[in-house]
Structure formats: structure tokens, C-alpha cells
Amino acid sequence: MSHNLLQRVSTRQLKACLAIALSLPLLWVALGIWREAQQPTSGFGPDPAEGLLHFLGSTAIIILLCAFSLSPVKRRLALPALGPARRMLGLFAFAYVTLHFVTYGWLYIEASFSLLLEDVVERPYITAGMMAVAGLLPMAMTSTAAWRRRLRRNWQRLHSAIYVVVPLAILHLAWLRKDGFAEVFVYALWFLIMLLERWWWRRQKAGAN
């Protein structure tokens, strides 16, 4: 798609395309569950619970980083139509994080609250993951225009939690990884570039005033 064509895409068309693209991993999960039901271990690899958990976790972190990248990309490519897509990206990220957490709660600790507490206390990567979810939850709950109006400046403050949530999610991954850090490095670099762009843009804006 050329840059010009991208600029002519309406917000509604963009949101429709995005909703379809963001639902594809869900379709993959549904297909995996169906394949698993047909023949064990054919859906998500030799350890289906782990395969599903990892797939949902990776999807969540990638969409989270996409949501964090939206403002810089919108500015740099002069694509104002991208603005309203941020809420959708954020909500999809939250949905995949929730599914990731539900998979862990259901298949790993079998809905045991005491095992969850034990993991939160004893496993730093679970602590970091839970803290990331705790930051995302109020953002998802207050994502509507009505909440934005009601909270006014506090809405912005609440949603700045993204600057903590993304590093916590990356830390979660870094802590649990036993083999290689290539993925962690790529996500951390992605986050850093988007952070630098924001810093640079604020500096330019301050210089212009």
C-alpha cells in the first residue's frame, strides 16, 4: 500500500481492517483447539498448555508494543486516521493478556488462588506479569470517551501507566527466559526507539514554543 493510499484510507476502513487483523490470532487459537481435540498434541506442539500460553503471551506483547508505537508512527508518517485505532489496539492487547492469564490460571495452577499467591511471591516473572496486568486493567476499564471526559487530566495520567506496563511485560519475559535473549532484545529495542521518538518530539515542540 503506497503512502498516498494509506493517507486516503478512512478511519472506519482502517478500524475494520485492524479488527480483522487483530482477530486472526484468535482464529489460530480456535483452530489449534479444534486440531487438539481431533488429535492430541497436534494443535499447540508437544506441551499444548505451554504452546497456547506462549502463543497468547507473544501476541499480547506484540500488540501492546504496536499500541505504544501508534502515536510516533502517526506523527512520522502524517497519518491522522491512525489516531482512533489506538484504543482498539490497547483493548485487543488487554484481551490477549487476559486470555494468557486465564490459560495460566486454568491449565497451570488449575484455578488455585493459593498457588497464584505462591507464584506471585516466589517467581519474580509472575510478580512482574501481575503488575503489568494491574496497570493495564484500569486503562482498559476507562478507555471510553465518557471516562476520558469524566477523568479529564487524570485520564492522561492513568494512561501514562503504559510507560511502566511495557517494561514490566518485557521484564516478565526476560525473567522467565532460560534460553537466549534475542526476542527480549528486539522488544526492548522497539520500546526504546518509541520512547526516544517521544522524547525527541517533546524537545522539538518545546523548542518551537
The residues of the shown chain that bind ligand HEM, judged by CB under 6 A, are 50, 53-54, 57-58, 60-61, 64, 97, 100-101, 104, 108, 126, 129-130, 132-133, 136, 169, 172-173, 176
Residues in the chain: 209
- For ligand HEM, the closer of residues 6 and 188 by Cβ is 188
The minimum distance between CB 50 and ligand HEM, in angstroms, equals 6
Residue with cell 523548542: 207
CA distance 100 to 106: 10
CA distance 24 to 18: 10
Cell numbers at 140, concatenated: 482498559
- For ligand HEM, the closer of residues 14 and 165 by Cβ is 165
- For ligand HEM, the closer of residues 14 and 96 by Cβ is 96
- For ligand HEM, the closer of residues 27 and 49 by Cβ is 49
Contact 74, 3 (CB under 8 A): no
Residue 53's alpha-carbon distances to 49, 70, 81, 135, in angstroms, are 6, 26, 33, 20
The minimum distance between CB 186 and ligand HEM, in angstroms, equals 11
- The DSSP element (H or E) to which 57 belongs, if any, is helix 48-76
Contact 7, 78 (CB under 8 A): yes
CA distance 201 to 194: 11
- For ligand HEM, the closer of residues 78 and 186 by Cβ is 186
Contact 190, 61 (CB under 8 A): no
- For ligand HEM, the closer of residues 28 and 201 by Cβ is 28
The minimum distance between CB 99 and ligand HEM, in angstroms, equals 11
The minimum distance between CB 168 and ligand HEM, in angstroms, equals 7
> Which residues lie closer than 8 Å to 184 by C-beta, 6 or more apart?
170, 173, 174, 177
The minimum distance between CB 52 and ligand HEM, in angstroms, equals 10
The minimum distance between CB 5 and ligand HEM, in angstroms, equals 32
